[in-house]
Amino acid sequence: MNRSGLPRHLLPTFFALAMLMLAATLQSPTADAQSRVSEFKLDNGMQIIVVPDTRAPVVTHMVWYRVGAADEAPGVSGIAHFLEHLMFKSTDKIPMGEFSKIVARLGGQDNAFTSQDATAYFQRISKDRLKDVMAMEADRMVNLRLTEKEVLTERDVIEEERRSRIENRPESKLAEQMDAVLYKSHPYGTPVIGWMHEISSLTQKDALSFYKRFYAPNNAILVVTGDVVTDEVYELAKETFGGIPGNPAVPSERFRPAEPPHIAPRRVTLTDPRAGKESLTRYYLAPSYGTAEGSDAEALEVLMKIMASGTTSRMYRSLVVDKKLASSAGGWYSGSSRDSGKISVYAIAADGQDMETIESEIDAVIAEVKANGVTQAELDRAKKSLRAEYVYQSDSQASLARRYGWAVTIGQTVADVDAWPDDIAKVTAEEVQAAAKKYLDMNSSVTGLLLPAPAAKRADKQPAQAVPPRG
């Protein structure tokens, strides 16, 4: 639980490298960044991004595929993530289950993850082992071998993963339900890990056909950060990945059904005796960095910083500090997806406070921003804070690699990433207010309530103390 509501998703596509070179002021960090990041493309279509950071003699090596859960066919939800697990099984050269052990034996760490838009594999390792892990990653790009037994055992693992992440946590169950309701047509409404009943029937054949369709150099991005010489990485990549032919069957367009107009607010209530406290969460459909017009995404970033992020935010001040309706309250903008973004706000009820009053107050805070905008002081503080945050986040070569890889898989460019700090600096108070008016629209929202017990049965319910003015 994060009491202060520090941003969880912070800085969607940012980037960070610029900050390594940053002089003592935050005026214009981007020029340095552009001089540090290099991009290449191999003849087989594989994209390469290299970001040197020589502070420690180690590298972060990532291969990203432009495929995620939202690219799954109906009925096989979870196959993107299932395949990600199976990628660690075996190839002609790697005996069953040895992939991670070999990396470890070389003194490296490895893992992988799947999101709606991307699947990524990475190793962190001593710089003189880059060649070895690159060879292993190239090998499993096309030579994966599976056996029925290993596939079925791994499916059991994934069912346990789903129990750990979702079934055992009421707040995760509610979030999953809310996403399913937020998206009427687009596959972002289906959970990345998949629905349990569909996970249970995934097969080796499903995994291999997904693999053959999407895993190829022309659908991949190599990102290397760390103590490297850019030209050497390029040569190494050419030797290692360059020999793998591109696959013309990889879909050239990522087709996802578009959302129809949203014309009515929706509500989801989950009553679960394992919920700790009554809480409210609301999602609004919003553009992402990939789909936003003009500076809408940056304006939403600044808006949510002012309105809902941390103890200085309006939401916290109003609900927690002044009116004492909630023990915590906040929100954020999630813009780092390909087809759609999301605005989230939440509040956890203080003892004796009812959800209706809390919801009214959230609405009042939102209505105030829509009606009167934000102050210059708030705007300055928020922009400074967002820009400083990526300075802090720039401290890690692993997060550098993730930011570039993430951005490119959702359709942005390295230049977009590098321009982010300046784009934030340009956001005006008018743009923030306009974004609030345009996107904090109840008709494109889902409000979720998590209740420990049915409200009617509660004998100890006290009347609300503070009824906020509406407005």
Residues annotated as catalytic are: 84
Complex with another protein: residue 414 or 434, whichever CB lies closer = 414
Q: Where are the alpha helices (DSSP H) in 218-265?
A: 230-241
Q: Which of residues 383-422 bind another protein (CB under 8 A)?
A: 384-385, 388-389, 391-399, 402, 406
Neighbours of 213 (CB within 10 A): 16
Stretch that binds another protein, among 114-122, 361-369, 424-432, 453-461 (CB under 8 A): 114-122
Stretch that binds another protein, among 336-344, 365-373, 414-422, 461-469 (CB under 8 A): 336-344
Q: Which of residues 432-461 bind another protein (CB under 8 A)?
A: 452
Complex with another protein: residue 330 or 434, whichever CB lies closer = 330
CB of 252 to another protein, least distance (A): 26
Pairing mode of beta strands 266-271, 445-451: parallel
- By CB under 8 A, the count of residues binding another protein is 119
Q: Report yes or no: 194 and 162 within 8 Å, Cβ to Cβ.
A: yes
Stated as kind and residue range, the H or E segment containing 113 is strand 109-114
Hey, CA dihedral for 345, 346, 352, 354, is it positive or negative? positive
* Residue span 47-86 as binding mask against another protein, x where in contact by CB under 8 A, dash where not: --------xxxx----------------------x--xx-
The residue from 41, 73, 75, 152 that contacts another protein (CB under 8 A) is 152
Complex with another protein: residue 374 or 434, whichever CB lies closer = 374
CA angle, residues 119, 124, 129, in degrees to nearest 5:
115
- Give CA–CA dist 330/446, Å, rounded: 16
108 binds another protein (CB under 8 A): yes
327 binds another protein (CB under 8 A): yes
Q: Which of residues 275-304 bind another protein (CB under 8 A)?
A: 275-277, 279, 281
- For residue 6, the one-letter residue type is L
310 binds another protein (CB under 8 A): yes
Q: Of the candidates 334, 369, 333, 344, which has an alpha carbon nearest to the alpha carbon of residue 448?
A: 344
Which two three-digit tokens encode residue 246? 């591109």
The residue from 32, 39, 159, 363 that contacts another protein (CB under 8 A) is 159
Q: What is the phi/psi pair of residue 224, to 5°?
A: -125, 125
How far from 233 is each of 40, 122, 245, 275, 418, CA to CA, in Å?
10, 16, 19, 50, 21
Size of the chain in residues: 471
Q: Of the candidates 278, 280, 328, 267, which has an alpha carbon nearest to the alpha carbon of residue 454?
A: 278
97 binds another protein (CB under 8 A): yes
Q: Which of residues 352-381 bind another protein (CB under 8 A)?
A: 381
Complex with another protein: residue 75 or 352, whichever CB lies closer = 352
- Give CA–CA dist 318/345, Å, rounded: 14
- Give CA–CA dist 269/75, Å, rounded: 26
Q: Which of residues 174-193 bind another protein (CB under 8 A)?
A: 175-176, 192-193
The residue from 12, 290, 373, 421 that contacts another protein (CB under 8 A) is 12
Complex with another protein: residue 341 or 468, whichever CB lies closer = 341
Stretch that binds another protein, among 207-215, 258-266, 343-351, 457-465 (CB under 8 A): 343-351
235 binds another protein (CB under 8 A): no
DSSP label at residue 145: B
* Residue span 240-279 as binding mask against another protein, x where in contact by CB under 8 A, dash where not: ---------------------------------xxxxx-x
CB of 41 to another protein, least distance (A): 25
- Give CA–CA dist 48/402, Å, rounded: 13
- For residue 372, the one-letter residue type is N
